[in-house]
Chains A and B, each alone.
Chain A
Amino acid sequence: MSCCAPGAEMALDLVNTGSVLPSTQEIRLASRSLGDDLRQTDLSVPTVHCAACIQAIETALGKLENVEDARVNLSTKRVAVRWRGNEVPPFVAALGRLGYQAHLFEADTDAKDKVLSELIRAVAVAGFAAGNIMLLSVSVWSGADGATRDLFHWVSALIAIPALAFAGGIFFKSAWNALRHGRMNMDVPIAVGVSLAYAMSLYETVTHGDHAYFDASVSLLFFLLIGRTLDHVMRERARTAVKGLSQLAARGAMVLRGDGARDYLPVGEIEPGMQLLIAAGERIPVDGKIACGTSDVDCSLVSGESTPRSVSPEDTVQAGVLNLTGPLTIEATAAAKDSFLAEMVRLMEAAEGGRAHYRRIADRVSALYAPVVHLTAFVTFVGWMAATGDWHRAMTIAIAVLIITCPCALGLAVPIVQVVAARRLFENGIMVKDGSAMERLATIDTAVFDKTGTLTLGQPRLVNAASIDPAMLEIAAGLAAHSRHPYSKAIAGLAASSSQNKFDKVTEHPGFGIEATAAGSIWRLGRRGWAGWKARTGGEGRHGYGGTVLTENGMIVASFVFEDALRVGARTAIDQLHNAGLCVEMLSGDTAKACSEVADVLGVDDFVPCLLPSGKVERIETLARDGHKVLMVGDGLNDTPALSAAHVSIAPATAADIGRNAADFVFLRESLLAVPLALDVSRKAGHLIRQNIAIAIVYNAVAVPIAILGHVTPLIAAIAMSASSLLVIGNALRLQNSRQSSPAKNVRRDRRSDITKLAQSS
């Protein structure tokens, strides 16, 4: 098959690494030009963790030819390499030699986080203003009067202007947006309270009045901005961590032109009818038909099938399938936008709906709270007008009511708990996309799992190792080390240490197995029909039918039985979910037999096999119609629509990109215990949020009557506000202390190995 030959040399560079490396063309495509021949490539290196790593990477990359400089960012676990010239320096290989797995990072998503810097700047300005105004206010409270007091008020008013304009702008914008769409959010009472407090204080200052609330309005902004910034930092961190994982979809492919020329084209430019070269270890970018070559392909991300499928010319393959053993030439039958992946995106968008209707607790509370507050203030004004007829006094007291009820504690009550909870989950390797995900997770009553890649690792494990002659196992391992087929990896991994066998010639026959000669005999490891060509299937009953065998000169000497390995902690996780009162189901695209085995071992209540992606969505929608709140845990492309159809969803970090984007939580470690942990923390967080809201309401119940009776001075307002905020923050911090002892420690110890494993498996 001469037409496949060009692909083979590309495969050679990849053989040693054991996972998919981005090709130089792909790196070039992902880099961005800094002008003047200089280009920058961002790589995500998840295993960087200390000063020694930084130094090793920066020195090694800096020594490469054409590399201008390399800088490691430890917080985001990224390396930015700047280089010149037409040739891409071999930095991924250089990192590989140092023992770091590197993944390409999308150049276009690298825009700096503008919102965060705006928030931090706003916090800085508000903090500066609040500190200085408080300094002046304390002087006023401790007895300054007359001209001194007026001077202090005037200075305070001046300092407050930039704080309101700059820091307050964030709240004003959000409040205005909400009002314009006829909604109510927490920012509306904040915006109204702060601006009215400022306006009244300015009036008081002009008329040489006693009480000015500049300190209240500015320190309110300061406190709320701190909460908001923390919230944003947490989410941003989770987002970049998820983004930094390797891209599983192919970015482009080598196109073979009619005249024999080869071009590397981005996925979007591939058209039906083009011939694509797919080396072993690459993902197939678009749907296609195999024109030539045989190989094994891993469809686990696409269909949930756990065993690799062998393919030969005329077979069709879907986008996202991983080519395992031999180079393939495929003819594209659909453009990327019509491929399987795009189909999943459409299904996913159609499924999104149930979640969009969810309203966050904070929004629900504020929708009730804001009208009540504004009404109370209005009634107070009318009441005092009727009682005294003094509009200035009535106005002052009404605004004092607004200030005292300004939802400082309420504004902090929800985000602060969610920040603390997200931090706890983050420490345990779980990323939370946003706060509402935790609120939704706390309410679920049914958990639905995908099988391949979620309950199982999607990697086969040799189960009959004990019954195989160790000498044969060693020979098999020596052979298997030459292949990247999952079965070979499983065998090779078992006897990795001593593969001293000297084979004269090792060749891999894609779709069949590996052949080698040693000391005059021919050894084959692979499919029974091919490897055991002398053995009559009937006569070799001892070794069973089918499966993988090792043969010497055509006689079967050992047979291997594989099983998809269960994910670490799967059994315990399911037990814990049962204990938490959940119903556990399994939905899979795999066969009924494979499903029932896993379901039995894990104690899953119910399972549905052989499901198409749309079937999973239907099942989840049926559950939802029956009034269940469903959690979906899945990793494949075929799970993606189900992930967005469910009430809340979790994906492992090894999931397809699109699945990780659709999921609310992503867990980075191998263990499935992340799921019950996330549930536990979310439920506790929900509990604390309700407590916090109760505290805020009690505070209001005490403070509001005092305000209505007209006894509030700026000093009382300041004390009441700070005290309630501190109480709410203190309550939220209890979440961090609860039961953080054993699991966190264990987990920290093997964090590095987990990450390494993750990087290797992805």
Chain B
Amino acid sequence: MTTLAYLIPVALFLGALGLGGFLWALKSGQYEDLDGAAERVLIDREDKLDC
């Protein structure tokens, strides 16, 4: 019983964290171009490495 007293809040907190993360990602437009995101990893970035 005592273990439950903190295990349940911990479980709920972790779940809520995931839910919050998902809602944040949704709001910041990260699900708007799923096909594009999959292809974009193939693009070489033109970073200048001469530092």
Assembled-state Cα–Cα distance A132/B35 (Å): 31
Q: Once A and B bind, how many residue pairs between them come within 8 Å at the CB atom?
A: 53
Q: Are B16 and A74 in contact (CB under 8 A)?
A: no
Which residues from B are CB-within-8-Å of A148? 1, 4
Which residues from B are CB-within-8-Å of A521? none
Assembled-state Cα–Cα distance A695/B22 (Å): 35
Contact of B33 among A51, A73, A121, A147 (CB under 8 A): A73
Assembled-state Cα–Cα distance A87/B36 (Å): 30
Q: Are B36 and A72 in contact (CB under 8 A)?
A: yes
Indicate whether B47 reaches chain A with its CB closer than 8 angstroms: no
Indicate whether B50 reaches chain A with its CB closer than 8 angstroms: no
Indicate whether A500 reaches chain B with its CB closer than 8 angstroms: no
Closest Cβ of chain A: how far from B40's Cβ, in Å?
Answer: 6
Interface size class of A (residues with CB under 8 A): 20 to 34
Q: List A45-62 residues whose CB lies under 8 Å from chain B.
A: 50-51, 54-55
Assembled-state Cα–Cα distance A135/B15 (Å): 12
Which residues from B are CB-within-8-Å of A120? 26, 31
Query: Which of A123-131, A214-222, A539-547, A732-740 is near enough to bind chain B?
Result: A123-131
Which residues from A are CB-within-8-Å of B16? 128
Which residues from B are CB-within-8-Å of A50? 39
Contact with A along B31-50 (1 / 0, CB 8 A): 11111100111110000000
> Would A76 and B19 be within 8 Å (CB), given that A50-B39, A54-B40, A151-B4 are in contact?
no
Q: Are B39 and A147 in contact (CB under 8 A)?
A: no
Which residues from A are CB-within-8-Å of B8? 136, 155
Indicate whether A75 reaches chain B with its CB closer than 8 angstroms: yes
Indicate whether B51 reaches chain A with its CB closer than 8 angstroms: no
Indicate whether A759 reaches chain B with its CB closer than 8 angstroms: no
Assembled-state Cα–Cα distance A73/B36 (Å): 6
Closest Cβ of chain A: how far from B39's Cβ, in Å?
Answer: 4
Assembled-state Cα–Cα distance A128/B36 (Å): 28
Query: How many chain B residues touch A (Cβ–Cβ < 8 Å)?
Result: 24
Indicate whether A668 reaches chain B with its CB closer than 8 angstroms: no
Closest Cβ of chain B: how far from A36's Cβ, in Å?
Answer: 21
Contact of B15 among A74, A117, A131, A155 (CB under 8 A): A131
Which residues from B are CB-within-8-Å of A117? 26-27
Indicate whether A666 reaches chain B with its CB closer than 8 angstroms: no
Closest Cβ of chain A: how far from B22's Cβ, in Å?
Answer: 5
Which residues from B are CB-within-8-Å of A73? 32-33, 36
Q: Are B23 and A124 in contact (CB under 8 A)?
A: yes
> Would A121 and B15 be within 8 Å (CB), given that A73-B36, A75-B32 are in contact?
no
Assembled-state Cα–Cα distance A712/B26 (Å): 39
Assembled-state Cα–Cα distance A699/B4 (Å): 38
Contact of B12 among A72, A132, A147 (CB under 8 A): A132
Q: Are B26 and A121 in contact (CB under 8 A)?
A: yes
Assembled-state Cα–Cα distance A121/B20 (Å): 10
Indicate whether A159 reaches chain B with its CB closer than 8 angstroms: yes
> Considering only CB atoms, which chain B residue lies closest to A147 in the complex?
B1
> Considering only CB atoms, which chain B residue lies closest to A53 in the complex?
B39
> Considering only CB atoms, which chain B residue lies closest to A135 in the complex?
B11
Contact of A51 among B11, B19, B39 (CB under 8 A): B39
Closest Cβ of chain A: how far from B25's Cβ, in Å?
Answer: 10
Which residues from B are CB-within-8-Å of A76? 33
Which residues from B are CB-within-8-Å of A147? 1
Listed from nearest, the 5 A-B pairs whose CB atoms lie closest are A74-B36, A51-B39, A51-B42, A74-B35, A73-B33
**Given A50-B39, A55-B43, A124-B19, 18 further pairs, Cβ under 8 A:** A51-B40, A51-B43, A54-B36, A54-B40, A73-B36, A74-B35, A74-B36, A74-B39, A120-B31, A121-B23, A124-B26, A128-B16, A128-B18, A132-B15, A147-B1, A151-B4, A155-B8, A159-B12
Q: Can you give 17 A-B contacts (C-beta < 8 A)?
A: A51-B39, A51-B40, A51-B42, A54-B40, A74-B33, A74-B36, A74-B39, A75-B35, A117-B26, A120-B26, A128-B15, A128-B18, A131-B15, A135-B11, A136-B8, A148-B4, A151-B4
